[in-house]
């Protein structure tokens, strides 16, 4: 595999692992809210989904195989669910509890953040898949086989033999 593949893989692994860690922290917070307050925090559901989505991507990337479109959708939807959960918080607080401006701002920011996380996840998976495509892999293998280095100078054997 080429260096760009390794970079794409590393960035996707770090991003997805980080999402799982953040999701675990917010899941614990949602569980604490549910146990201490007289209501259910929907973050229990949404952060569980995003936690497992991150783990799924990490596991799938480590197989070295591309992630198909359905898996991309399933791995990205949980971020939308988290964003919708925060958006629901914005709507409920705006309609029923107008004095909770700080919470409305918090939910608004996190709606945008989790929407962005979903978009970033999608783009990183596409980048990872791109570097696994046969055209890219074959081009890299051909260029690797046609070059050699002698004291820091690259020699392109393909161009020499074609003259």
Domain coverage including residue 128 = 3-132
Q: What's the confidence (pLDDT) of residue 98?
A: 77
d(CA 34, CA 29): 9
Stated pTM of the model:
0.78
**Considering the domain boundaries, does residue 110 fall inside one?**
yes
**Quick one: average pLDDT of 41-67?**
96
Task: Work out the pLDDT band at 161, boundaries 50, 70, 90.
Answer: very low
**Considering the domain boundaries, does residue 151 fall inside one?**
no
CB neighbours (10 Å) of residue 65?
10
**Considering the domain boundaries, does residue 145 fall inside one?**
no
**Considering the domain boundaries, does residue 156 fall inside one?**
no
Buried b / exposed e over 139-163, threshold 16 CB at 10 Å, is ebeeeeeeeeeeeeeeeeeeeeeee
Tens-place pLDDT, residues 24-50: 999 999 999 999 998 899 999 999 999
**Considering the domain boundaries, does residue 7 fall inside one?**
yes
**Considering the domain boundaries, does residue 152 fall inside one?**
no
Structural domains in the chain (count): 1
Long-range contacts: 125-129, Cβ < 8 Å, 24+? 125/12, 125/57, 125/67, 125/72, 125/75, 125/76, 126/72, 127/8, 127/11, 127/12, 128/5, 128/8, 128/9, 128/12, 128/61, 128/66, 128/67, 129/66, 129/67
Tens-place pLDDT, residues 84-115: 999 999 999 999 887 788 999 999 999 999 99
**Quick one: average pLDDT of 50-74?**
96
Q: What's the confidence (pLDDT) of residue 50?
A: 98
**Considering the domain boundaries, does residue 86 fall inside one?**
yes
Among residues 2, 5, 3, which one has the least CA distance to residue 128? 5
Among residues 5, 7, 4, 26, which one has the least CA distance to residue 117? 26
**Considering the domain boundaries, does residue 143 fall inside one?**
no
Where is pLDDT greater, at 117 or 149? 117
Task: Work out the pLDDT band at 2, boundaries 50, 70, 90.
Answer: low
Residue 60 has pLDDT above 90, yes or no: yes
What size, in residues, is the chain? 163
């Amino acid at each position: 595999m080429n260096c760009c593949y390794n970079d794409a893989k590393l960035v996707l692994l770090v991003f997805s692992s980080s999402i799982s860690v953040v999701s675990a922290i917010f899941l614990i917070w949602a569980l604490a809210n549910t146990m201490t307050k007289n209501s259910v925090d929907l973050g229990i559901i949404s952060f569980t989904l995003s936690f497992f989505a991150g783990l799924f991507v990490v596991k799938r990337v480590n197989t070295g195989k591309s992630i198909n479109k359905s898996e991309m959708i399933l791995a990205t939807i949980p971020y939308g669910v988290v964003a919708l959960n925060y958006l629901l918080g914005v709507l409920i607080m705006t309609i029923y509890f107008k004095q909770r401006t700080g919470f409305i701002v918090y939910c608004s920011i996190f709606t945008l953040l989790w929407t962005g996380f979903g978009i970033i996840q999608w783009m990183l998976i596409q980048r990872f898949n791109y570097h696994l495509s046969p055209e890219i892999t074959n081009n890299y293998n051909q260029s690797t086989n046609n070059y050699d280095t002698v004291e820091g100078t690259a020699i392109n054997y393909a161009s020499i033999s074609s003259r």
